[in-house]
Amino acid sequence: MTDRSDTDIEYFAELTAALRSHGRPREEVSATVDDLWGYLAETGTSAQEEFGPVDVFAERLTAAEDGPAGQGTEPRTWKWIADIYADRRQLNHFGDQGWEIERIDRLGRFVARRDPATAMRWEYRREVVNAADRTAKAAELAPEGWELCGHCLYLMYFKRPKAASAGPAADLAELPEVPHQKIFLRNRAQRGKLLLALLSAVVSGTVVSLAVQHGASVTPILIAALLAGVVGGGTAWYGVKRDAVGQVED
């Protein structure tokens, strides 16, 4: 959507207030809201439809964050999310700042941890693997020091201390501040594939539901819609997976 509706403006005003009430710094909140506005402009939906209730969304964005933003001396957990066109770049960028990925949470966020007392540089790699082949892939990479740190759908993420490849150059003399930004959606031109895949899944589910409710009277139309949804969704998912395999970046 090109114009900002009053409803969306009100939504983001409430989100801003909610994030600030959770103790998030003004600069971080501003950067997050700007990113979300940019993402929303590409989806063509409303903020309420895309992100859900303000209070729930704010809770998701701030869940399990400990301590104030900044360097500090205590271990810090930081959660962030990226699409497949930005994830590898951001993983290695923040790995150079001492952030170690512990896992990927149920919301698809990278859960990163950094302890100033023991911080070191980390490097990451991403592999496209079917679920049945995950164990074999992890075993294949283990001799090189790669350790699984999370997986999502057909993507596996591995980490290892950067000293394994860079030696003394991997030493970390000082720690940059905790980043304010948590959302990295780099390639807007490719988001259409993700959106089409999700919409097709919704269409397919709706078709099945209507067929159950209304029976044969609407079956021919529903079959056509279902086929279109399956073809469109399959094509979109194939495109996204192909980009992941080809390591397409913005």
The CA distance from 144 to 244, in Å, is: 22
Q: Cβ distance 44 to 1 under 8 Å?
A: yes
pLDDT (tens place) for every residue of the chain, 250 residues total: 446 888 999 999 999 999 999 888 888 888 888 878 877 776 678 889 888 899 888 887 776 454 444 455 678 889 999 989 899 999 999 999 999 999 998 778 899 999 988 899 999 999 999 989 999 999 999 999 999 999 988 999 999 999 888 777 777 878 998 888 888 876 554 555 555 554 555 555 554 555 556 555 545 555 555 455 555 545 544 555 565 565 555 5
User: Position of tokens 């094509």?
Assistant: 235
Edge-to-edge order in the sheet of strand 155-161: 122-128, 155-161, 147-152
Neighbours of 149 (CB within 10 A): 21
The CA distance from 117 to 98, in Å, is: 11
pTM, rounded to two decimals: 0.57
